[in-house]
Structure 1
Amino acid sequence: MEKIPNRKEIIDRRALVLAISEIAEQHAPSSFEFRRDVLKQLKVTFDNGNKAVEKRFLQTNKGRATMYAQCFLVDQLIRTIYDAATQYVYRLSNPTSEEKLSLVAVGGYGRGELAPYSDVDLLFLFPYKQTPWCEQVIEFVLYMLWDLGLKVGHSTRNVNECIRLAKKDTTIQTALLEARYVWGDQDMFKEMYRRYLKEVAAGHSREFIEAKLQERKERHERYGNSRYLVEPNIKEGKGGLRDLQTLFWIGKFLHGTTDISRLVELGVFTEKERRKLTKASNFLRSVRCHLHYLTRRPEERITFDVQTELAKRLHYKDHAGTRGVERFMKHYFLVAKDVGDLTRIFCAKLEAEQQKTSRLPIPRLGLGRRKLKGYVVESGRINVEHEDDFKKEPVKMLELFHLAQEKGLDVHPNALRLIRQDLKLINRSVRNDPRANQLFLEMMTSHKDPETTLRRLNEAGVFGRFVPDFGRVVAQMQHDMYHVYTVDEHTIRAIGIVSQIEQGALKEDHPLSHNIMPKIVSRNVLYVAVLIHDIAKGRGGDHSILGAEVAEKLCPRLGLSPSETETVSWLVRYHLAFSGYAFKRDIADPKTVEDFVQIVQSPERLRLLLVLTVADIRAVGPNVWNGWKGQLLRELYYASETALTGGHISEGRAERAKHYQEELRSQLKGWKKKEIDDHISRFYQSYWIATSNEDRMKHAALMRKADKEKSLFTIETKSDPFRSVTEVIVYTADHPGLFSRITGAMSVSGANIVDAKIHTTTDGMALDTFFIQDSEGKVYDQRGRMKKLRQAIEDTLQGARKPHLEIIDRREASLPSRTEIFKVQPGVILDNKASNTHTVIEVRGRDRPGLLAGLTRTLFNLSLSISSAHIATYGERAVDVFYVKDSFGLKITNKVKLASIEKKLLAALSDGTEKQKISTPAKKAAGGGS
């Protein structure tokens, strides 16, 4: 451990020992009073020491020094407790050779680094077999530590057991590698460690390294296999502290040292790399200490609810277009990236040693060495022939990755190391080089796994240097619960998804996108648009508009024609339009399709925009895409395609309604003419336009059966796993507030409504269709849920249940959610242009249980009838859209009434839970996607 200044400020062990000796004079060491008073004294000392260490840390932000100080504090406590046990409670006047004990720190504690709330890992080492005296002392020490509130991971072994188990178990082998003598019999510890180095470590470096690298790989897979998760695990995640520790474990096993300066002398790292490693190590340790102090527990995950406070404590301030918390997380991801670079460098050094020594620390991945187009291929990885190749010809930095992709090779760590050193050579001249741009475009649009190649380019730093606009979003996160990855990782994943759709790998998930891909005229346009669609995030303006401007400059450089450049710019400008119209507008309303077609204007753009939208949504995170979203996108696509290819979807409303009526007449087999006439006359024109032929047939059968049985309340349900939705049709007598009551019943039953259609018949019946999902975005039909939902709706309609009161009670009784740290500005947009027949109300706010039920209840109290509702959530944000009419069946045009609607909906959004300032957005958002 490093030298700790003013140690007595943390703990004065001499004073503590004196205080315990005074307690021993007052009480018999075997008495309850002795233990009570000793524990009390230890607690005071421990609390004061913790406060001193924390105070120093908050003044300096030095995590490494804090971990050493915390370790020193615990060391002194353990030594004092052991001495109290052996000198007072279990004192031996004439100990035998077996009555010896050595207290050994292992794991992180053994390394001398103890985060504020981390576990204390102790090994109690005894000579041959455990004696009653050993057991008593161990028990005394452990109980005292537990009573102090420490979490102790302990093992009790003799020297032979340590060696035997270390040979069999890599975890024990690693723990003992960092073993450190704390107190007790020092000779026994020295003997154990001497035997460990001789019998366990010597000659077994190959097996150890293989095991640690495999362990690292499995750990990465468990923790998301990406260092760009927006809630990373600082200890176990990719690019975290455990990766650094793995390097030190291997270094110590091979070279017998964890001293970075010594590893530089041995040629493992350069001086520049040493500085980078030390910087990364110090940053991660400081963040971890802040995380522990902030949460008051051994928390290792940097969750959303602590990120803002961590950023403040580490002095990250808001800048134009970027919040302090986003700057902090960007720094974190860049540090994690550096850790990945250092890992590859270290592995390269190991491989070089492999070729020089017979010890073979790492197995070869392949045999033979051959030349390939001016490069060298060894062990299945491509490398440069000469160390100065990149300096002579910087374009080779791109050519190397291009060749690796073409031939299915990995890139040699040595080449990556040289690239990192020569990145500054990628300047304006290289960026404007036609050959360099051709190589980049070919890699991005290749049929051979462009995602992996682009990720390698990004990891090496080449991507951001060659496309500086992309470099600005490398490691940039968005502080919300919708986006799972950083912007650069999201973009690379989106390109990978487009490639998978094109190759047919996602045919079952995205059948329409798969089918239209061959019809797309320019693949280059699509791939470049995906590259640029989020490239302007974090600039303080509308990233769609700013990104379109980037496209106009970047596309010609990449070799795209003026026509292709215009299309890419348009795609970036409107990349959120498809999802916005599909998820937030009523697709059955002709005005929705009419407005969308006005934006799209051509079938080719429609195809491009669909695939871009699918890739964009799917690349947001693992659970964002579902079948219902796919269904909405397909419906809008087909309706728009019809309009763009000569169909008149918004014309001839009365004629179309009449056509659908005649179509139904011909399909209702077994019905009498009067029955058919009566059924058709029960619906208004809007019903025939807004429903499909399949729905009309289904409704006719349901209504006929219910009417024959004189049922006052009928529910029919059907789940569609492909669309990830359960359809619920409710047929009952219409009355004011019906829709609001049903949504309330669904809310208290745990069903999430994603869409709803409301139809009222001429004879006063309601035919309401709801599309619902469970909390995970899947069908709502598991474990008898539908039976409970049906009962909840029936009880609510009969007045036996009051869902709006249940929702309030549940909210008051529930624990605060970590989503509450997100500030979502409530907003209400009243739009009379989006539909020819309805006023469209878009409501935005922070999502919470019962939000939809509260909004629909407010609309009912405002005497508005809802014709359809479209519900979307983006992490913590909810965007609900309602198509409404007034009590006379007309649009709402009165300014006073519109103002009242806005005011009361904003109040419903707040409902005592939103503590933010409430205002109405100045303009309508595009919405959707990411």
Structure 2
Amino acid sequence: MPSDPLAARRITQVLHEGFADPTVGPSRRRAQSDLVDDWLRTLWGRAEGPAQGAALAAIGSLGRRSLGPASDLDLVLLLDPAQVHAERAEQLATALWYPIWDSGTSLDHAVRSPAECADVARTDLRAAISLLDLRLIAGDAQLVQDTAARVRIQWRREARRRVGELAALATDRQRRYGSLAHSSEPNLKSDRGGLRDITVIRALAESWLADHDHAVVDAAATVLRDARDALQAVTGTSGTRLRRADQEAVAALTGHATADEHHRVLADAARAVTWELHRAVRAAEAGLAPGGSATRGAGTARRPALQRLAHGVLVQTGEVSVDPDSTDPLRDVAAVRHAATTGLPLSAATLARMAQAPIGTLGPAQRDVLVDALAGEHLADTYEALDVKGIVARWVPGWEEIRNRPQRSAVHRFTVDRHQIETVLEAQRFLARVSRPDLLLLAALLHDLGKRAGARDHAAEGAALAEAAALHLGVEADDARTVATLVREHLTLVDLATGRDLADPATLRDLLHAVDQDLGTLELLRALTEADAIAAGPAAWSTWRTDLVDHLTSLARSALSGTAPAPRTRLAPQRSAQETVRAAVRRTGSAQVLYPAHLEAEPISQICLGAPDGAGVFAAMARVLVRLRLDVHSAVVTTGDGIAVNTWWVAAAPADLPHPSVLRTALERELAHRDRADARVLELPAALPPRTTEDTPVVTLLPGASREATVVQVNARNRPSLLADVAEVITLHGMQVRSAHVMTLGRRAVDVLYLTDQHGRALDPPATGRIVAALMEAAET
């Protein structure tokens, strides 16, 4: 073991003290930095570092004196070539770097002259930003001071041409890493709104082109650094990715009751950082733009040009503000509308004024202006500005309960509140297709208000909250009830379309009941369904789900308008393909395979399998697909007239599918051995045990879904053998699958099974209890 390792010195400090106290974090990091400084000065003395012409300097977190328990070290050995020759420089570097490496500490190092530092800062943006934190550790203090001053002068001289690069750097980081506030496993350093963005904000301030709210940024930095320190203390590594497995421990160490509570605090800090970066970049760009600093007047009367708009809204120096003397009741919402529609930011003074202004129930005119704002293409940026000041939570009852609330789902990309904003943006595409676009936007804004802590059914609980919020926003009572209906049923259409038998009259009956037998409400629900799913993430919507939803909507539309139903579209189980397979099975008495369709835009293909019906046929088909490594995304299983014809959508392009003869041979072999227990065993690696409560399978009865069958939904973490295991359990219990509807959603599989006994009747209560327990066990395996 090295005689003087950094790791041993860290043990002398009580790292876990003060993590839950935000006032202790900065002093703890300074103490940790001082500890490392002392050790590095010891190494400098042992290396006999010269007092003139050479210096050891720090950048990064050590340069800022914000070192974490396991942070990397970023060091620069500064050398004056006129005073230190190359051989001595190499000896000095070797004497410094090797003891650090031997200690097990991660080191990023460089050996440069002051001129080389300036050259690197001129050509490399990231290096320029990091060198702004250059700080003396040991050696020639004047050398470090002169180099730091040289870098800063150059940074300010070239900052005007680098504003665009800084904005692109932040944008590129968001593209590669995502948003810290909305990530289920945030990177505290690299995600948008993380520690790197704070460094960029301060670099902009060093350029003198734009400033920021120092109190807000400092507070956010403390929150993020405290989380980083706790994470490093928990994991013992320098990583900054807060993974699910560590979130509860990190939350406890930072004084939060749950990981969700800690996430809300992190999201609040990250959104504040994101907004301050946005403001700083916009301010710098406005100052550089040809018209950004337009003025009027002359001499001492010269001042920025001012544009006056209706309702007391002002535009000045590229920002939206309000006339403080205006008493127009539409003033504030009109300012928000102008920002959302033009992309111009709201000024800091205007946001501060809105955050303090008294809020009451909106009048009809205010409501209409607010709806216009919801139709603005720049709504997301405007929302983030309002959210940082807590304005939306003051305007919309119930918003505070879902603000920054994480969604522990692989499907969702955003926190609950931002997901609602994204849903509004997606709903904008449907405004010309519905009779009440205003209600669509309001329902999109309010549809997840029920996702509060402890909610059991967020759609049902959110309906009342949404109605109350709509009334507060100036919506008439009848319209508020329609909004409540849309919120209560916003999952109904997709659940029925993808999880129920579309040929069963009960499915259509349930949809018509959900929309109160109203065609306008149906169209609004169809639009909200797609907007909500696309806003959630790519795993929540797909071409085949679109087809199923559209088909069920068409059936309901026809029923409500009294017209003939539209034909099913190309991705539904094609009737001609099913009849072809059914006829072939009837003629030959053997298994049949047909590939009727595939998607051009997605690697999804359709497989139609048919065989004489009987015990174990469904399970045999599922096992064949598992053995051939075909990942099932969706399926519709039907039986009738003694023949089972099942349509499967699998994740494969046509060229990747086995030849139909291969699949038919495999299916015949599986059917021939379906009575042999050893032949039914799938040779697959064991599934990992559930890690969190959200991975626990849920088996639910759907009473009233069908008069002829018992309908059971299995919702579980997906694995290759899940469907085959479920099918095997049904076979072992001597039950029949009248139809099945299979869907993969992120990491979850949702299988809805229409089960009957051997006589084709719905299951009795004892049989239902047995199969539910057995399916639960199979889903956990």
TM-score range normalised by the length of the shorter chain: 0.7 to 0.9
Cα separation, partners in 2 of 1:535 and 1:770, compared to 1, 3 Å: same
Q: What are the equivalent positions in structure 2 for 1:312-461 lying under 5 Å apart?
A: 312-317=252-257, 324-343=258-277, 346=280, 365=292, 367=294, 369-373=305-309, 374-385=312-323, 388-389=324-325, 395-405=330-340, 408=342, 410-412=344-346, 415-428=347-360, 431-444=361-374, 446=375, 454=383, 457-458=386-387, 461=390
Aligned to 1:904: 774
Letter in 2 for 1:594: R
- Aligned residues of 1:863 and 1:887 also touching (Cα < 8 A): yes
> Any residues of structure 2 matched to 1:516-915 within 5 Å, and which?
517=433, 520-538=434-452, 540-541=454-455, 542-600=457-515, 601-646=517-562, 693-699=575-581, 703=585, 707=588, 714=593, 716=595, 718-721=597-600, 725-732=604-611, 736-747=615-626, 749-759=629-639, 762=642, 766-772=644-650, 774=651, 779-781=652-654, 783=656, 796=670, 805-806=681-682, 809-811=684-686, 820-831=691-702, 833-893=704-764, 895-911=765-781
CA distance in 1, matches of 2:290, 2:186: 32
**Measured at CA, do residues 66 and 797 of structure 1 come closer, stay the same or move farther in structure 2, by a change above 3 Å?**
farther
Aligned to 1:155, the other structure's residue is in SS state strand
Q: Is the 8 A contact 1:441 1:558 kept in 2?
A: no
Q: Are 1:119 and 2:80 matched, yes or no?
A: no
Structure 2 residue matching 1:884: 3-state secondary structure: strand
Query: Secondary structure of the residue that 2:4 maps to in structure 1?
Result: helix
Residues 206-245 of structure 1: per-residue CA shift (max 9 Å, x gap): 2354433332233233333684344433222222222222
> Which SS does the other structure have where 1:440 is aligned?
helix
Count of residue pairs brought into register by the alignment: 756
Structure 2 counterparts to residues 479-490 of structure 1, below 5 A: 479-490=408-419
Distance 1:394 1:145, change over 3 A: farther
Matches within 5 A, 1:219-298: 219-224=173-178, 227-254=181-208, 273-298=213-238
The 1:888–1:450 alpha-carbon spacing in structure 2 relative to 1, beyond 3 Å, is same
For residues 353 and 204 of structure 2, what CA distance do their matches in structure 1 show?
24
Deviations 1:528-584 (A, max 9, x none): 222221123205443323332234434344444443233222222222211221121
CA shift, 1:716, in A, is: 3.7
Q: Deviations over 1:770-804 (max 9, x none)?
A: 222x3xxxx55465677897787576556699796
- In 1, Cα distance between the equivalents of 2:655 and 2:91? 54
- Residue 613 of structure 1 deviates from its aligned partner by 0.9
Identity of aligned residues (%): 24
SS in 2 for 1:757: strand
Aligned-partner Cα distance in 2 for 1:49–1:448? 51
Aligned to 2:17: 56
Deviation at 1:410, TM superposition (A): 0.9
Of the two, which has the highest radius of gyration?
A: 1
- Would the aligned equivalents of 1:420 and 1:461 in 2 still touch at CA under 8 Å? no
Alpha-carbon distance in structure 2 between the residues aligned to 1:449 and 1:348: 14
Structure 2, gaps ≥5 residues long: 296-304
How much is the aligned-residue C-alpha RMSD, in angstroms? Answer: 3.7
Cα offset, 1:339, TM superposition: 2.4
Cα distance change, pair 75–483 in 1 and its aligned pair in 2 (3 A): same
8 Å CA contact 2:68, 2:228 repeated in 1 = yes
Give structure 1 stretches of 5+ with no counterpart.
1-38, 88-94, 256-266, 318-323, 355-359, 504-516, 650-659, 661-689, 912-930
After superposition, the Cα gap between the structure-2 partners of 1:242 and 1:804, relative to the gap in structure 1 and judged at 3 Å, is farther
**Counterpart Cα distance in 1 of 2:733 and 2:349:** 67
Return closer, same or farther for 1:268/1:890 CA change in 2, 3 Å cut-off: closer
Question: In terms of mean alpha carbon deviation, does 176-185 or 67-76 score higher?
Answer: 67-76
Measure the CA separation in 1 of the matches of 2:458 and 2:591.
52
Which residue identity lines up with residue 871 of structure 1 in the other structure?
Answer: V
* 1:416 partner amino acid: A
Equivalent residue, structure 1, for 2:301:
none
Letter in 2 for 1:139: T
Amino acid in the other structure paired with 1:54: L
Does structure 2 conserve the Cα–Cα contact (< 8 Å) formed by 1:117 and 1:297?
A: yes
> CA deviation digits over 1:881-928, x for unaligned, max 9?
1112222333222x33222222222222333xxxxxxxxxxxxxxxxx
CA distance in 2, matches of 1:447, 1:79: 57
Change (3 A) 1:422 1:615: closer
What SS does the aligned partner of 2:686 have? Answer: helix
Change (3 A) 1:561 1:384: closer
Q: Which residue of 2 aligns with 1:70?
A: 32
**Residues 339-377 of structure 1, C-alpha deviation per residue, up to 9 Å, x if partnerless?**
24444565687689x5xxxxx7x8754745242234443
Aligned to 2:299: none
Amino acid of the residue matched to residue 852 of structure 1? L
Per-residue deviation at 1:421? 4.4
The DSSP-based 3-state class of the residue aligned with 2:2 is helix
CA contact (8 A) 1:627 1:724 kept: no
Look up the match of 1:657: none
Deviates more, 1:222-231 or 1:296-305: 222-231
Task: Using the TM superposition, name which of 491-500 and 204-213 deviates more.
Answer: 204-213
Distance (Å, rounded) in 2 between the aligned partners of 1:698 and 1:722 = 26
Contact 1:463 1:470 in 2 (8 A): yes
Distance 1:231 1:851 in 2: 26
Secondary structure of the residue aligned to 1:468 is coil
Q: Kindly provide the amino acid, as one letter, of the partner of residue 834 in structure 1.
A: A
The reply to whether residue 469 of structure 1 matches residue 401 of structure 2 is no
Give the Cα–Cα distance (whole angstroms) in 2 for the partners of residues 785 and 76 of structure 1.
Answer: 67
Classify 1:878/1:623 alpha carbon distance in 2 versus 1 (closer, same or farther; 3 Å): closer
Shift of 1:521: 2.7
> Distance between the aligned counterparts of 1:243 and 1:276, measured in 2?
13
Deviation digits for residues 498-554 of structure 1, max 9, x if unmatched? 112346xxxxxxxxxxxxx1xx33222222222221123205443323332234434
CA offsets, 1:240-292, max 9 Å, x none?
2222222222333449xxxxxxxxxxx956xxx54433322211110111122
3-state DSSP of counterpart to 1:529: helix
Q: CA deviation at 1:632?
A: 1.3
Does structure 2 retain, via aligned residues, the 8 Å contact 1:46–1:73? no
Q: Are residues 804 and 624 of structure 1, via their aligned partners in 2, closer, same or farther at CA, if it must alter by over 3 Å?
A: farther
- 1:366/1:783 CA distance change after superposition, 3 Å: farther
> What displacement does 1:633 show?
0.4
Helix, strand or coil at the partner of 2:129: helix
